[in-house]
Amino acid sequence: MTPQLTLLKRLAGKLNIYGLALLTIPIAVSMTACNSQVDLSSTKSEKLANRETTMGKDVVLFPDAVPSTADGSVYWKQGSCAQCHGDDGKGVAGATTVDLTNVEWMRHRKPLDQYKLISFGTGEEVETPNTSALGTAEENALEEKGRPSRHMTHDAYLEKLTKRQRWDVIFYARSLASPLLSAEERMAMNAVFGANCAVCHGSRGAGDGQLNKGLVLQPAPANFTQFDRFYDRTDDQLWDHIANGIKWEGMPNFLGKEDRGNKVKFDADYIWKLVQYVRNFHEDSDFVLEGPKKAKLPNSEKNRSVANSTRIEDKSVPEKTRLSEKLSSGVTEENRAKGSDYKSESVQ
C-alpha cells in the first residue's frame, strides 16, 4: 500500500469519529429538554399576565369606540356621582367645590387628565397654555412646568366601572358645561366644514382630505378621530388652533374671516361651535349601549320603514338643506378640481 493511501485511510477514520460525536450533540440536547421541568408557578405567571396589567393600573387605556355621553348619564347614576356632584353637576355643599357646569373651568380641562383622576383617584389640575401664545410646543412644555397646579383626589373607579363606562362618564360630565351639537346643528354646519376644513381634514375628520391624497402634506392634517391626540387637548387649545392657526404646521387662522358662500362669519362664538363640531368626531351624544330598546319589526316591515325614512322628495327639502347634505360627504367634484384655490375662495 502506498503512503498516500495509508494517509487517506487514517483521515477517513478520524472523520467518522468526529461525525459520530457531532450526531450525539442534538440527541443529548433533546434528552436534557425532556428531563427538564417547566415552572408554571403563580409567581412567574403573574409577571406575564395579571388583573392589574389587563385593567391598566396607572396606565391610560383609550376607548375602543367613540364614547357616548348619553350612556354616560346612565353610569353617572349607577356610580352615585350625584351624591357629591348633584343631579345637575353643580356640586353638593360640603361634598365638593367643583362645579362641572362651569364652562370656563371645563374648557381648561383635558379628557386625559379627567380619566386619570376618575380611574386612579388622584391627579393634578394644571392650566395648559395655548399654543399660539408662545409659538412652539417645546416652549409650551417649559412654561407649563412653571405653572401652579392643584392636587386633586377622587374616588377611584378603576374597578367599579369598565374602561368604556369611565370614558362615557367623563364625556357626560364635560357635556354638563359644553353640550355637544345636536343633529340639526351639525347638519347646518356640514356645509361650512365641507367648504373650509374637509379639503385638508376630510369629510370624516380623518385627515385624509383632497389636498392630502398620498400623504403629501407634512405635517399631516390632524385626524379628529385620534383619541390619544385629542383627549390630550383642552377645548381652549382647540379654539386657539382654529382661531389663530398653527403657522408652522400649515393650519390657517379663521378668527375674523368670513365664508361668504355660506353667509358665516368666524367670530369667537362661531369658533366655539366649531370646537364642539370637532369634538363630535370623537364623542357621541346618542345612546349606544344603554338606550331604550327599539321594538323589533318583521323584516318586511323593517325594510319599508327604512325605505320611507331615507326617501326624500326634492320638492319638500329647502335648497340650503340639500346643499348641506351634498357637502356633508366631503368637497364637491368642482371644488376638488380647484384644489388649494378652493379654500381661498371660500374664506375671505
Q: Contact, 200 vs 246, CB < 8 A?
A: no
Confidence of residue 101 (pLDDT cuts 50, 70, 90): very high
104: Cα separation from own chain's centroid:
23
pLDDT band at 318 (very low <50, low <70, confident <90, very high): very low
Name the CATH architecture for the domain at 64-175: Orthogonal Bundle (1.10)
Q: How many percent of the chain have pLDDT more than 90? A: 49
Q: Considering only CA atoms, which of 231, 207, 229 is closest in space to residue 220?
A: 207
| Closest to 277 in 3D by CA, of 342, 324, 313 | 324
Is there a contact between 230 and 167 (Cβ–Cβ < 8 Å)?
no
Cα-to-chain-centroid distance, residue 266: 26
Q: Is 296 helix (H, G, I), strand (E, B) or coil?
A: coil
| Whole-number pLDDT of residue 317 | 38
Hey, CA dihedral for 128, 130, 133, 135, is it positive or negative? Answer: positive
Provide the mean pLDDT of the chain: 76
Name the least confident of 168-177, 257-266, 277-286, 300-309. Answer: 300-309
Q: The whole model's pTM is what?
A: 0.66
Contacts (Cβ under 8 Å, ≥6 apart) of 208:
202
What is the model's pLDDT at position 179?
92
Angle between helices 268-279 and 235-244 (to 10 degrees): 120
Using alpha carbons only, how large is the chain's radius of gyration in Å?
31
Confidence band for 300, pLDDT divided at 50, 70 and 90: very low
The three grid cell numbers given for residue 66, joined into one nine-digit string? 367613540
Q: What is the pLDDT of residue 141?
A: 56
Q: Which of 15-24, 171-180, 323-332 has the highest mean pLDDT?
A: 171-180
* Residue ranges per structural domain of the chain: 64-175, 183-292+315-346
CA distances in angstroms from 143 to 114, 128, 135, 137, 252, listed in the order given: 21, 9, 11, 10, 24
Is the peptide bond between 111 and the residue preceding it cis, with omega within 30 degrees of 0? no
Where residue 18 falls among pLDDT bands split at 50, 70, 90?
A: low
Give the per-residue pLDDT at 207: 92
pLDDT at site 64: 93
pLDDT over 80 (residue 35): no
Considering 48-62, 115-129, 259-273, 280-294, the range whose residues carry the highest mean pLDDT is: 259-273
pLDDT at 4 over 80: no
| pLDDT over 90 at 281, yes or no | yes
Work out the average pLDDT over 184-212: 93
The pLDDT score that the predictor gives to residue 161 is 94
- 132 or 345, higher pLDDT: 132
* Predicted pLDDT at 270: 96
